[in-house]
Amino acid sequence: MEKNPYYSLEVEEALIGSLFLEDDLMKDCTIRPEHLYVHRLRIIFTLMLGLAEKGKPIDMVSVAEEAGTKQIGDIGGGSYLAALAGSVPSTANFHYYQETVKQYYQKRKTIEIAHRIKQRAEHEDIEAILRDGIRNLQQVEDHLTVENGGEIKQSLIDLYHECEKDLGDIAGIPSGFRSLDQLTGGVQESDLIVVGARPSVGKTAFALQLALEAAKEDVAIVFSLEMAKKQLLKRALSGIGAVSSVKLRNPYRLFQEHDWSDLHQAMGTLSKLDLHIFDQGGIDVNFIRSNVRKLRRKYGEEKRFLVVIDYLQLIMGDPRLKGNRQAEISEVSQALKGMAKELNVVVIALSQLSRAVESREDKRPMLSDLRDSGQIEQDSDVIAFLYRDDYYDQKAEQKDRIEIIIAKQRNGPIGTVHLAFHKEFGRFRDLVG
């Protein structure tokens, strides 16, 4: 007999039969009536749920009584209930039956969504269709995630084992800057970190250096919505090899022999890093999440991930919110925080600042300068601002110096770190050591 691709009658009956054998299993059951395909089994399971809520025993007599004369025919009568009760010899495989029922439900919902996409694709905007389709598929996946009832015992065990490990001086992913890591403990997994600065202060160079440092031992992923991949790679090579960014514009004419040697060494170093760069424009959080998830599967759970997004305001939000920029950015910010937590990755999102900073005498950024949304401040675990005196005053005493202002840190102190900034190479370094 050919297997039905949409459901398994035997498995659904075995699930209900197991509940007849041991009604306490209802406490561990995460099935809902809509997960079942066979109509009469869905009715029987709904009756069982009603009995459980009332604190009554679950057996074929009580189910028949609950069904009454109106529904007893719909569920196959007492003979079918008796057959179900005797359909399984034990409850040993209950959890297997439960997960199999969920998988079939997931398959049916996926096919249903695919059909809707096909029908809509003939008449509607394809971007909106794909966005809704990805969101609906994500909901199916999230809905069927194995539940643990919010239990804490395993988490306590994992936490204890983590306490036994020597994490060194830095618990998170090192930034490469000793002074900054002393303040933050490194960048932490599941955190959303927002780095804000006015244009051309150095936020892309700073984030890229963080990514290059992370990619030495861990995995770094850069989503560049403004700059092409080759431009970013030139910046990376300039920083790694101390190769002049001006000379890199036309190496054939401007390079000297030592420049070629430095470039070759830098390329060799860069090629060994676990660094991935996506430079597509007009992307949304679903695109980012999908690609991070793929790379997570490739590298496994043992690797830590740092995700850089340049920059937040260029991410496409829900098209239904167009015209309400604040709501659109709020939705993006919340989605990025959700992704950081869901995939256990560090997300560093670069952000524009409002022009209000230019009208103040002290032009160091503040939290209120974050552009478009106060929700960014709410969702972020860490907010860092970059500030340079020589950006505003060419005659400033502190040339080639940059301040990293930690304006918010949910799990640590705030403060300011001073770094040297070599503009020629787009490279930062600690001032001491």
User: How do residues 155-174 score in pLDDT, each as one tens digit?
Assistant: 677 777 766 665 566 778 88
Q: Which CATH superfamily is domain 9-143 in?
A: DNAb Helicase; Chain A (1.10.860.10)
**Could you tell me the residue ranges of all domains in the chain?**
9-143, 171-430
What integer pLDDT is reported at residue 73 of this predicted model? 85
Supply 232's token pair.
């970013």
pLDDT at residue 1 above 50?
Answer: no
What integer pLDDT is reported at residue 310 of this predicted model? 87
216-225, 310-319, 320-329, range with the lowest pLDDT: 320-329
User: How do residues 43-76 score in pLDDT, each as one tens digit?
Assistant: 999 998 888 888 888 888 888 888 888 888 888 8
User: How do residues 371-399 score in pLDDT, each as one tens digit?
Assistant: 666 778 888 899 999 998 888 877 777 77
Q: Where are the beta strands (DSSP E) in 305-344?
A: 305-310
Give the span between the Cα atoms of 68 and 93, in whole angstroms. 31
What integer pLDDT is reported at residue 271 of this predicted model? 87
What integer pLDDT is reported at residue 297 of this predicted model? 83
Please confirm, yes or no, whether 226 is among the known catalytic residues. Answer: yes
Catalytic residue (choose from 99, 226, 342, 403) = 226
Instruction: Describe the crossing of helices 203-214 and 229-241 by its angle, rounded to 10 degrees.
Output: 70
For 288, left (φ over 0), alpha (ψ -120 to 50), or beta?
alpha
pLDDT at residue 337 above 60?
Answer: yes
0.85 exceeded by pTM: no
Contact between residue 344 and residue 173 where contact means Cβ atoms under 8 Å apart: no
Question: 350 pairs with which residues across the strands?
Answer: 195
What integer pLDDT is reported at residue 126 of this predicted model? 80
Mean pLDDT of all residues belonging to the chain: 84
What integer pLDDT is reported at residue 386 of this predicted model? 92
Supply 287's token pair.
């695109």
Supply 173's token pair.
């992913």
Whole-number percent of the chain with pLDDT over 90: 16
For 174, left (φ over 0), alpha (ψ -120 to 50), or beta?
beta
CATH of span 171-430: 3.40.50.300
pLDDT at residue 37 above 70?
Answer: yes
